[in-house]
């Protein structure tokens, strides 16, 4: 079982990307501290933890930071072996899951940025 001494998630209540990380942490039964970020007034910690994109989500595990929700999900799945797997063990099925996850991320981004639904 992975070391779980300190897990912090920096997110924003409206971010679907942060929400999917929260879902994964809860599904795996991982205790974590949640830090709500105001993206209009970004915290010094958020800027320090994600200096490239300066956005949420950011996972901090024992002082190590991981940014980008899909990367965080893979990290969670590989670090915490207990609980259900987030991705299938079969490489082809895992690739399919990654494809659909990326597709949904792109669609969600379109909805958030443009305020329109591409499925109409």
Domain residue spans in the chain?
A: 7-86, 88-120
Does 39 have pLDDT greater than 80? yes
pLDDT given for residue 114 in this prediction: 53
Sheet arrangement for strand 33-36: 33-36, 7-11, 58-61, 64-67
The whole-angstrom separation of Cα 61 and Cα 4 is 8
pLDDT grade for 120, boundaries at 50, 70 and 90: very low
The whole-angstrom separation of Cα 13 and Cα 18 is 8
The structure's pTM equals 0.80
pLDDT tens by residue, 7-21: 999 999 988 889 999
3-state secondary structure of 112: helix
3-state secondary structure of 106: helix
Domain 7-86 class, CATH top level: alpha beta
Burial class (CB in 10 A: 0-12, 13-18, 19+), 5: exposed
**In this structure, are residues 102 and 113 in contact, taking their beta carbons and an 8 Å threshold?**
no
């Amino acid at each position: 079982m992975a070391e779980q001494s300190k897990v912090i998630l920096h997110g924003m209540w409206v971010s679907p990307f942060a929400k999917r990380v929260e879902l994964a942490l809860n599904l795996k039964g991982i205790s974590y501290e949640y830090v709500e970020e105001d993206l209009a007034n970004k915290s010094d910690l958020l800027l320090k933890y994600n200096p490239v994109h300066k956005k949420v989500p950011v996972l901090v595990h024992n002082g190590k930071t991981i940014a980008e929700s899909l990367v965080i999900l893979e990290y969670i799945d590989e670090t915490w072996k207990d609980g259900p797997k987030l991705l299938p063990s079969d490489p082809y099925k895992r690739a399919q899951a990654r494809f659909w996850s990326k597709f949904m991320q792109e669609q969600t981004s379109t909805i958030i940025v443009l305020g329109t639904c591409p499925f109409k």
